[in-house]
């Protein structure tokens, strides 16, 4: 069919469908795939090309206007005027290096988030070669005929050709109320966005089902024309980043205060103004933690990337840290705890019960299976679609009918159907009308009350009396208690006009044909994941549309909670205060037959109690609860596009176990941020104390460290080990701790105590010991002048001492609680590499003559090196003992932290 195609702008979507098809050279059966492929090369992929705004120059420039950079610039200028041009140049180098470092890290973080889009490709159901297939939305072309159903994101501008849908147009016009769109065979004038017969790319379908022919794709769609929408949104800093920014400021203020305070002290100690100014500046530059923020952003981005690989795509960097403090997970049952692979195992009709495998010989059970299979819209593989498509419950019914020898072919079923009353999650039933027959299937409590007749033991129609109802109810409960999902199937024979007249009129006076019960086994990784969540102090509630006893049994099989079941009706009657009390008990609850509104209500109640809530959902109506939860979790496979858009995290494997893995990753990232903050903070004490000694001795002790040596440590030797700490693996016991309280700061008193008091003071003592050792060997007397190589060797020893101590600090920082042995001394290869770099850098500074000249260093001899050798071990050892004592204290029962939110 090689022919010319209209340019996109020439397609008039308002003309009647027959003309539109002619213009688009298509048919209601869609395009052939060869033709679609040809059009794809002509029109290009159906995606919004980002306007290529060059952002990087602005981003790079922004690095230099950061307040901390400005502070450093002031320092550089002061150094210049203070006759210390070398220091001035060094500070400029620091500014440049920092800006480059931050810029690269920010770009990497941005890319990590952008790359996630590839994990969540949008797809569309489109007719190709007359068959309905699922294709990537980017492959849609004008002329394609697509099917649109509840929960779909509409991926191209299209004109409806049959059916009707409710559409949420808020992305185009800001209106949040859905509007109804339906096919219209006429030419309809009026404003484009208000046209009743058109649907637009970027909007979503909230109800109904329809077919439509694509008129515009990619940048030719309405949304493509709205240029602003194709630009990237502004990313908010995460709470962790905000906290760290605040802490950075506090530390910068302390550094400046210390620097300024040093000035008069230095002068009084006989340093002279120029040297004192140089020193103040050095102190400030060294202690302003410039690289902290970008490093944290990068750690979060690394977490995002790793989570995506594990099957959890998060859309915001901040979600990673929120995940780590999750206290409650509210999960669906079907597909999340279970495999969503249903198989009918038991059947009941006319007082007879059979295993599905043995039911083939029973006429009534075969008729029951055929009726249930007729009341479906799913497709088995090879029957109109290449793979199974549709609701797993319906696929199970289609398979059952085929096994019992009464297969229902999709083409016959759809051809005979005159009306479809789609599955309504509120009433929990669906019906189809074929001529004079109505077939209904759904939750037994929904279907049986509409029945007034049933098949009696002899297979004749009889009134559905009280005892017969009681018998059916008893069977339902008995099946449900073993974890089976039970559906009731009913029919009605009446005049087609009555059955097609509307749902309420049609679904009454039904005849109960029987019950089918299906297994949906729990996913095998779930019990272990639930146990892990419990050890981590996380409560798991199940919120499901399924029947109470079924849900309670599945919950019990995977290890969730007591057997407290609250039905949707009970929840509706419950006051807010009662709900708070119920949730406050800490008991795990199964909310059965619940509605999307109850999800929202439970979420609100938990959040108001201070919980951090992760909530799963897959339907259109779940979107508000997903938005409201701290972490809205949508299903990548079975969920609707609408739920995926509302969620913060999308599970590409729909598996509960992945949520728990994501919580663990969140905790680990947060822990690692603390690790490198600890490491970076610890050096402050051994750098500052020597100056205090110099100042307090009134200059009797020479200044133990030069400014450039400080800069070499903070901006040279330490950088790689700090980054490597951000990549530490999870510490043992990470998931045995209770969740971090919502308000806990990343930099707390314990961290500061460990950094400054424990690691810092130990290092300072060792460093000074090294310094005095060199002085003593040189026969120095207090108050005596030290010059030349002797002084250079002494300061070099301080420099090398700090480097050696920081190696010990790096190993100590690797764990928060656990012993180093439990994680393996050599398990962080990056850190080993970082330390090797640190040693090589330090050695170059100490032994290479050109660098000696710049940094005022001198070669150290064997005795000095021998003295330095135990420093790392001593620093690490002190911290190891501290952690061991803490572990012992935590293990004492009366002081052990509670591992369960319930009992805390
Ligand atoms: N395709 C269907 N046709 C008729 N009834 C159905 C269909 N699917 C589900 N039901 C009935 O509606 C009930 C609720 O289904 P719904 O899809 O809301 O929740 P669910 O899949 O059981 O569980 P979850 O909320 O955990 O995903 C089911 O228990 C079943 O009785």
Across the chain, mean pLDDT equals 86
- What DSSP string describes 406-419? ----HHHHHHHEEE
Distance from residue 562's CA to the centre of ligand 1 (Å)? 23
Beta bridge partners of 330: 541, 615
Residue 549: inside a domain: yes
Q: Which of 139, 144, 168, 332 is catalytic?
A: 332
Atom 17 of ligand 1, residue of closest alpha carbon: 545
Position with higher pLDDT, 441 vs 784: 441
Q: How far is the CA of 440 from the centre of ligand 1 (A)?
A: 14
Summarised one tens digit per residue, pLDDT across range 842-869 is 999 999 999 998 888 999 999 999 999 9
Residue, of 832 and 265, whose pLDDT is higher? 832
Answer yes or no: do 553 and 408 share one domain.
no
Measured in angstroms, how far is the CA atom of residue 448 from the centroid of ligand 1?
A: 16
Same-domain pairing of 508 and 603? no
Q: Is residue 104 part of a domain?
A: no
Of the candidates 203, 230, 257, which is a domain's last residue? 230
Cα-to-centroid distance, 123 and ligand 1 (Å): 24
Residue 102 inside a domain? The answer is: no
Between CA 155 and CA 135 the distance in angstroms is 11
Q: Percent helix, strand and coil across the chain, each rounded to 5?
A: 55, 15, 30
> What is the predicted pLDDT for the residue at 602?
95
Return the CATH number at 622: 3.40.50.1000
Task: Find out whether 652 and 311 touch, Cβ atoms under 8 Å.
Answer: yes
845, 855 contact by CB (below 8 A): yes
Residues 383 and 531 in one domain: no
Residue 556 located in a structural domain: yes
Q: Where does residue 237 fall: left (phi above 0), alpha (psi -120 to 50 degrees), or beta otherwise?
A: beta
Residue 370 CA to residue 397 CA, distance in Å, equals 8
Residue 552 domain-assigned (yes or no): yes
Looking at the structure, tell me whether residues 374 and 511 fall in a common domain: yes
Helix 292-309 × helix 85-115 angle, to 10°: 20
Q: Please state the rounded mean pLDDT for residues 86-99.
A: 81
Do 328 and 414 lie in a common domain? no
pLDDT at 896: 42
Per-residue confidence at 438, pLDDT binned at 50, 70, 90? very high
- 893 pLDDT band, cuts 50/70/90, is low
Does residue 253 fall inside a structural domain?
no
Specify the pLDDT at position 281.
79
Last residue of a domain, one of 661, 692, 712: 661
Note the pLDDT of residue 562: 63
pTM beyond cutoff 0.90: no
ipTM over 0.95: yes
Q: Which of 393, 593, 599, 625 to mutate to test the pocket of ligand 1 (most atoms within 8 A of CB)?
A: 393
The rounded distance, in Å, linking the Cα atoms of 482 and 470 is 19
Distance 341 CA to ligand 1 centre (A): 13
> How sure is the predictor about 121, in pLDDT bands with cuts at 50, 70 and 90?
low
For residue 257, count other CB atoms closer than 10 A to its CB.
11
Burial 74-86, CB ≥16 within 10 A → b, else e: ebbebbeebebee
CA-to-CA dists, residue 134 to 140, 386, 641, 824, 839, angstroms: 11, 9, 14, 48, 57
pLDDT at 9: 56
The CA 531 to ligand 1 mean position distance, Å, reads 27
Q: Is 391 a catalytic residue?
A: no
Identify whether residues 794 and 889 lie together within a single domain: yes
User: Both 515 and 529 in a single domain?
Assistant: no
Residues 363 and 481 in one domain: yes
334-354 residue pLDDT tens: 989 999 999 999 999 988 899
Q: Hey, which of 209, 422, 426, 442 would you mutate to test ligand 1's pocket, going by the most ligand atoms within 8 Å of its Cβ?
A: 442
CATH code for the domain in which residue 444 is found: 3.40.1110.10
Instruction: Tell me the pLDDT tens digit for each residue of 239-269.
Output: 677 777 777 787 788 778 878 887 888 788 7
**Quick check: is 110 in a domain?**
no
Residue nearest to ligand 1 atom 7, measured at CA:
442
Judged against a pLDDT cut of 70, whether residue 7 lies above it is answered with no
CATH of the domain at 37: 2.70.150.10
Q: What is the CATH classification number for the domain harbouring 826? A: 1.20.1110.10
Q: Which atom of ligand 1 is nearest to the CA of 425?
A: 18
Work out the burial of residue 713: count CB atoms within 10 Å of its CB; fewer than 13 is exposed, 13-18 middle, 19 or more buried.
buried
Mark whether 748 and 848 lie in a shared domain: yes
Instruction: Give the nearest ligand 1 atom to 547 CA.
Output: 29
Separation CA 195–CA 193 (nearest Å): 6
DSSP code per residue over 702-741: PP-S-HHHHHHIIIIITHHHHHHHTTPPPPTTGGGSPPPP
**Percent of the chain scoring above 70 in pLDDT:** 93
Domain that holds residue 641: 323-338+523-661
Question: How sure is the predictor about 185, in pLDDT bands with cuts at 50, 70 and 90?
Answer: confident
Q: What percent of the chain has pLDDT over 90?
A: 45
Give yes or no for residue 446 having a pLDDT over 60. Answer: yes
CA of 593 to the centre of ligand 1 (A): 9
Q: Whose CA is nearest to atom 28 of ligand 1?
A: 546
Q: Would you state the pLDDT for residue 643?
A: 86
Give the chain's domain count: 4
604 shares a domain with 616: yes
428 within a domain of the structure (yes/no): yes
Together in a domain, 775 and 719: yes
Q: Whose CA is nearest to atom 14 of ligand 1?
A: 545
Q: What is the mean pLDDT of residues 581-598?
A: 90
Distances (CA, A) of 678 to 278, 491, 713, 725, 757: 27, 70, 16, 10, 12
* Ligand 1, residues at Cβ distance < 6 Å: 332-334, 391, 393-394, 423, 425, 428-430, 441-443, 485, 487, 544-547
* 312-314 and 352-355 strand pairing: unpaired
The atom of ligand 1 lying closest to the CA of 486 is 31
Q: Which ligand 1 atom is the nearest neighbour of the CA of 332?
A: 26
Each residue of 683-728: pLDDT tens digit?
A: 888 988 887 788 778 778 888 888 788 878 877 788 788 888 888 8
My answer on whether 514 and 552 are in the same domain is: no
Q: Rounded to whole angstroms, what are the CA distances from 170 to 216, 394, 887?
A: 19, 33, 54
Beta-carbon contacts of residue 177 (< 8 Å; ≥ 6 apart): none
**Residue that terminates a domain, selected from 230, 247, 270:** 230
The per-residue pLDDT for range 447-497, each reduced to its tens digit, is: 999 999 998 888 888 999 999 999 999 999 999 999 999 999 999 999 999
- The answer, yes or no, to whether residue 222 has pLDDT greater than 90, is no
Q: What integer pLDDT is reported at residue 899 of this predicted model?
A: 35
Atom nearest to 441 CA in ligand 1:
4
- 449, 487, 553, 618: residue to mutate for ligand 1 pocket, most atoms within 8 A of CB: 487
CA-nearest of 435, 431, 477 to 451 is 431
Q: What pLDDT is stored for residue 5 in this prediction? A: 55
Nearest CA owner, ligand 1 atom 19: 545
- What's the confidence (pLDDT) of residue 773? 93
Identify the pLDDT of residue 117: 63
- How many Å apart are CA 542 and CA 639, to the nearest integer? 17
């Amino acid at each position: 069919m090689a022919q010319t195609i209209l340019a996109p702008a020439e397609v008039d979507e308002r003309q009647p469908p027959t003309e539109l098809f002619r213009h688009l050279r298509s048919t209601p059966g869609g395009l052939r795939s060869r033709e679609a492929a040809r059009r794809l090369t002509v029109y290009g992929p159906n995606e919004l090309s980002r306007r290529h705004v060059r952002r990087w120059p602005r981003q790079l420039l922004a690095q230099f206007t950061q307040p901390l950079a400005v502070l450093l610039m002031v320092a550089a200028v002061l150094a210049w005027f203070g006759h210390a041009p070398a220091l001035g140049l060094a500070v400029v180098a620091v500014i440049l290096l920092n800006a480059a470092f931050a810029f690269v890290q920010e770009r990497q973080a941005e890319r990590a988030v952008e790359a996630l889009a590839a994990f969540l490709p949008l797809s569309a159901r489109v007719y190709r070669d007359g068959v309905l297939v699922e294709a990537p939305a980017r492959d849609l072309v004008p002329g394609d005929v697509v099917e649109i159903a509840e929960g779909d994101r509409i991926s191209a501008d299209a004109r409806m050709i049959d059916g009707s849908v409710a559409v949420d147009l808020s992305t185009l016009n800001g209106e949040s109320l859905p509007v109804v769109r339906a096919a219209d065979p006429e030419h309809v004038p009026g404003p484009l966005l208000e046209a009743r017969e058109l649907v637009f790319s970027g909007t979503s379908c909230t109800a109904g089902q329809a077919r439509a022919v694509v008129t515009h794709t990619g940048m030719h769609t309405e949304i493509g024309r709205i240029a602003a929408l194709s630009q990237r949104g502004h990313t908010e800093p995460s709470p962790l980043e905000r906290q760290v920014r605040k802490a950075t400021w506090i530390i910068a203020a302390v550094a400046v205060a210390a620097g300024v305070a040093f000035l008069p002290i230095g002068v009084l100690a006989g340093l002279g103004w120029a040297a004192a100014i140089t020193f103040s500046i050095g102190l400030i530059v060294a202690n302003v933690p410039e690289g902290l923020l970008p490093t944290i952003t990068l750690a979060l981005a690394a977490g995002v990337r790793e989570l995506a690989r594990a099957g959890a795509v998060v859309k915001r960097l901040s979600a990673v840290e929120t995940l780590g403090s999750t206290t409650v997970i509210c999960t669906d049952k079907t597909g999340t705890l279970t495999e969503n692979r249903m198989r009918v195992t038991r059947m009941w009709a006319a007082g007879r019960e059979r295993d599905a495998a043995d039911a083939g010989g029973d006429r009534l059970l075969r008729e029951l299976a055929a009726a249930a299979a007729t009341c479906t819209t799913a497709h088995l593989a090879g029957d109109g679609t290449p793979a199974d498509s549709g609701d797993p419950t319906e696929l199970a019914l289609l398979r059952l009918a085929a096994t019992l020898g009464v297969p229902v072919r999709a083409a016959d079923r759809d051809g005979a159907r005159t009306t479809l009353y789609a599955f309504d999650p509120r009433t929990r039933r669906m019906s189809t009308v074929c001529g004079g027959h109505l077939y209904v299937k759904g939750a037994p409590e929904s279907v049986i009350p509409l029945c007034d007749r049933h098949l009696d033991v002899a297979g004749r129609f009889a009134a559905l009396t009280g005892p017969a109802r009681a018998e059916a109810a008893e069977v339902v409960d008995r099946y449900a208690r073993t974890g089976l999902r039970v559906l009731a199937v009913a029919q009605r024979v009446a005049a087609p006009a009555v059955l097609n007249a509307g749902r309420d009129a049609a679904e009454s006076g039904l005849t109960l044909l029987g019950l089918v019960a299906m297994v949906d086994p729990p996913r095998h990784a779930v019990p272990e994941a639930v146990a892990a969540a419990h050890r981590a102090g996380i409560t798991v509630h199940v919120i499901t549309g399924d029947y109470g006893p079924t849900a309670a049994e599945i919950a019990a099989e995977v290890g969730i909670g007591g057997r407290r079941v609250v039905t949707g009706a009970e929840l509706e009657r419950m006051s807010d205060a009662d709900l708070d009390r119920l949730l406050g008990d800490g008991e795990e609850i199964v909310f059965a037959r619940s509605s999307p509104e109850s999800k929202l209500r439970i979420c609100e109640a938990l959040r108001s109690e201070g919980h951090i809530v992760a909530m799963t959902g897959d339907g259109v109506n779940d979107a508000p609860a997903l938005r409201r939860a701290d972490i809205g979790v949508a299903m990548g496979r079975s969920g609707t596009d609408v739920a995926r858009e509302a969620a913060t995290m999308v599970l590409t494997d729909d598996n509960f176990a992945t949520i728990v893995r994501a919580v663990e990753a969140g905790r680990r990232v947060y822990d690692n941020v603390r690790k490198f903050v600890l490491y970076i903070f610890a050096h402050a004490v051994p750098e500052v104390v020597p100056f205090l000694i110099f100042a307090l001795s009134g200059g009797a002790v020479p200044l133990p460290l030069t400014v450039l040596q400080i800069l070499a440590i903070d901006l040279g030797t330490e950088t790689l080990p700090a980054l490597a700490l951000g990549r530490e693996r999870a510490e043992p016991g990470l998931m045995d701790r209770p969740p971090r309280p919502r308000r806990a700061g990343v930099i707390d008193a314990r961290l500061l105590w460990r950094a400054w008091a424990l690691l810092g003071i130990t290092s300072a003592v060792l460093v000074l010991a090294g310094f005095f050792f060199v002085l003593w060997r040189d026969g120095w007397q207090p108050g005596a002048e030290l010059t030349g190589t002797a002084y250079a060797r002494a300061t070099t020893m301080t420099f090398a001492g700090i480097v050696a101590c920081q190696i010990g600090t790096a190993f100590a920082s690797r764990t928060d609680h656990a012993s180093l042995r439990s994680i393996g001394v050599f398990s962080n290869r990056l850190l080993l590499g970082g330390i090797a770099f640190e040693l090589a850098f330090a050695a170059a500074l100490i032994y290479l003559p050109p660098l000696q000249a710049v940094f005022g260093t001198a070669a150290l001899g064997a005795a000095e090196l021998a003295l330095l050798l135990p420093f790392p071990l001593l620093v690490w050892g002190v911290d190891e003992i501290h952690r061991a004592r803490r572990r012992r204290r935590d293990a004492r029962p009366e002081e052990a932290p509670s591992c369960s939110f319930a009992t805390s």
